[in-house]
Amino acid sequence: MTSQHTPPGGPPDTIVAVDGVSKRFGERQAVDGLDLTVPKGTCFGLLGPNGAGKTTTLCMIYGVTAPSSGSIRVFGIDISEDPRAVRARWGVTLQETIYIETATTAENLRIFGRFHLLREPELSERVEELLDSLDLRTYADAPVKTLSGGYKRRLSVAMSLINRPELLILDEPTTGLDPAVRHALWSRVRDLRARGTTVLLTTHYMDEAERLCDRVMIVDQSRSMIEGTPHQLIERELANEAVEVECTA
């Protein structure tokens, strides 16, 4: 169940290929020699605690920060050479999403759609579809500043889907949300997977990884510790459990 090394670019059905990637911030090693591949149409999860390197890995894949060493290819394209060639084909929800707080929910979606060069009538069709599918209809005309954290997170996911991406990147999408909102977002991710969208996500929650992911990599202290299917990881954890019984006379 160790990480399977893939040559740069990966096979034709590989959407994301991370090869020997490391990242340092001064003296701090944020990511250390990471290899991972995300096949087309699958959901791949990075599971680990805060500071493990999950968000830094996503930021390197997204092109927000450059790796100190190693290579990253998305859709077979080296993102350090041509990031614009891939950005029209993915959607990203990071932990901090920038909204226009005084604009309405629908207006934020329309603005983000125009950023992706969508035009009418397609733009309006997609906005209406996302308002319904992410249960935002009631708040379509509400300023974003009036939304709860859960509905802002739904809007963030909706914005990342406006261009119908081939790859969806989600950074801890349900952290801090109540169970009802978590389950609603899980349902949406499962729907996207059923339609063939490739998903790469980070999470703190094993139950989330188990429900959504085809494969999971556990990361800690900047390194990959183990990789496998959720079932494999759970079986291994159960096999490693020790039970102490204290007997008294």
Residue type for position 154: R
pLDDT greater than 60 at residue 242? no
**Sequence spans of domains, the chain:** 97-164
Please check whether residue 65 is in contact with residue 23, taking contact to mean a CB–CB distance below 8 angstroms: yes
pLDDT of residue 167: 97
Among the residue ranges 3-7, 65-69, 225-229, 236-240, the one predicted with the least confidence is 3-7
pLDDT greater than 80 at residue 238? no
pLDDT greater than 50 at residue 178? yes
Please check whether residue 14 is in contact with residue 5, taking contact to mean a CB–CB distance below 8 angstroms: no
pLDDT greater than 50 at residue 163? yes
Mean pLDDT of the chain: 88
pLDDT of residue 2: 43
Task: In whole angstroms, give the CA distance from residue 99 to residue 119.
Answer: 21
pLDDT greater than 70 at residue 75? yes
pLDDT greater than 60 at residue 186? yes
6: CB partners within 8 A, 6+ apart:
14, 17, 19, 35, 37
Whether the link from the prior residue into 49 is cis, omega within 30° of 0, is: no
More confident residue, 16 or 245: 16
Task: In whole angstroms, give the CA distance from residue 68 to residue 28.
Answer: 12
Among the residue ranges 49-63, 68-82, 230-244, the one predicted with the least confidence is 230-244
Residue 11: pLDDT band by 50, 70, 90 thresholds?
low
Give the three-state DSSP class for 165: coil
